[in-house]
Every structure is written in structure tokens, then in C-alpha cells.
Amino acid sequence: MSQVSSEQHAYPIQAETPLSRAGWGKLAMWLFLASDSVTFGGLITSHLILRLHNADWPRPTDHLAFSLGLVMTALLLSSSVTMRQALAAVKRSHVRLFKFFMLFTIGAGVAFLLLQAYEWRHLLQEGLTVSGNPWGAPLFGATFYTLTGFHGLHVFAGIVYLSVVLLYGMRRTDLSAYYEHTEMAGLYWHFVDIVWMFVFTCVYVL
């Protein structure tokens, strides 16, 4: 009996490390974002190659709503700031501030999608489609809708993700143990915001 006790003392059962839960979840998020970066990089590179090899490529600022794109950019940039504030509120376990900043972040994402839908509707009415372009190269419409649509899909997924995080967080009185979940959601949202800067520059400016 004493021998068994000494063996248990010599080889203690190791407790579950943080990496087994939050750590692995964060690693999985980083791997997903890395693979998604490759996808976006391929789409943006294809857009630039087509842009350079088509002499009749229209000037984006002449036909796209550049000012509207700036507003959309401002919305996403401000939502990154409020996402950081929400994470800081979780660290301090301040439930009211967490709700406020998360709602603002989600609202900015919804406003972004509404403005994007408005622009799409306007461009479709003017004749810009995936296979047609009244101002020149037909692929202009294809690359525009592919890049902005793919990014918009990520914004929509981010809104759903943040909404789930918010709903679960609202049920808690102590948010200190909820930090890793909010941090992973923040990583995704910051990624979406950063990617938009590249999409906006390539589609609306170049």
C-alpha cells in the first residue's frame, strides 16, 4: 500500500494545461486565418494581373462609389477599436461595457453589409454584372463582385460569430474566464478589417 502511494507521489497525474483548450483553439484560429490569407492573396493577385493585362479596364474612381467605400472603411476601422475595447472590458469583467462595445462592433458590421448591398444594387442597375461591363473589360465586374462578395461573406460570418460570443457573455456575471473566447473572435474580426484595406485599395483605387 505504501509502495502504491510512493509511486503516485513520484508520478503525479498532470493537470490539464491551458493549451489543451484555449491554446489549441487559438492555434486553430491562427491556422484558419493563415489559410484564408492565402485565398485572399490569390484573389487579389488575380485581380491585379487581369487589371494589368486589360487596356480597356475602367478607372474605378469613375464608376465605383469611392466616398461610400471610405465610409465602409471607417466603419470597419472603428469596429476594430471597439472590439479591442470589448476585449479589455472582458479582462476587467465589466459586463456593461462588454455588451456596449460588442453591440457597436456588430452594428458597424451590419451597417457595412447594408452599404455594400446598396452599392451592388446601384451598380447592377447601371449594367455592371459578373459577365458584363458597360464601361470596358467584362472581367471588371467579375473581379469586383468576387472580391467584395467574398469579403462580405466573411463579414457576415463575423457578425454571427460575434453575436454568439455576445449572447453567451451576457449570461455571465464574471467574464474573466471568457477572455480566450472573446480574444479568438477578436482575431477573426481584426483579420476581416485588415483584409478589407487591401480589397478597398485594389478595387476602389488602383
Model pLDDT, residue 22: 58
Alpha-carbon gap, residue 58 to 37, rounded angstroms: 27
Model pLDDT, residue 7: 44
Q: Express each pLDDT in 102-127 by its tens digit.
A: 999 999 999 999 999 999 999 999 88
Alpha-carbon gap, residue 58 to 46, rounded angstroms: 17
Alpha-carbon gap, residue 9 to 23, rounded angstroms: 28
Model pLDDT, residue 10: 45
Given a contact cutoff of 8 angstroms between Cβ atoms, the answer to whether 106 and 166 are in contact is yes
Model pLDDT, residue 2: 45
Model pLDDT, residue 55: 80
How many contiguous H segments (helices) and E segments (strands) does the chain have? 7, 0
Alpha carbon 25 to its chain centroid, in Å, reads 17
Residues of the chain with pLDDT under 50: 1-19
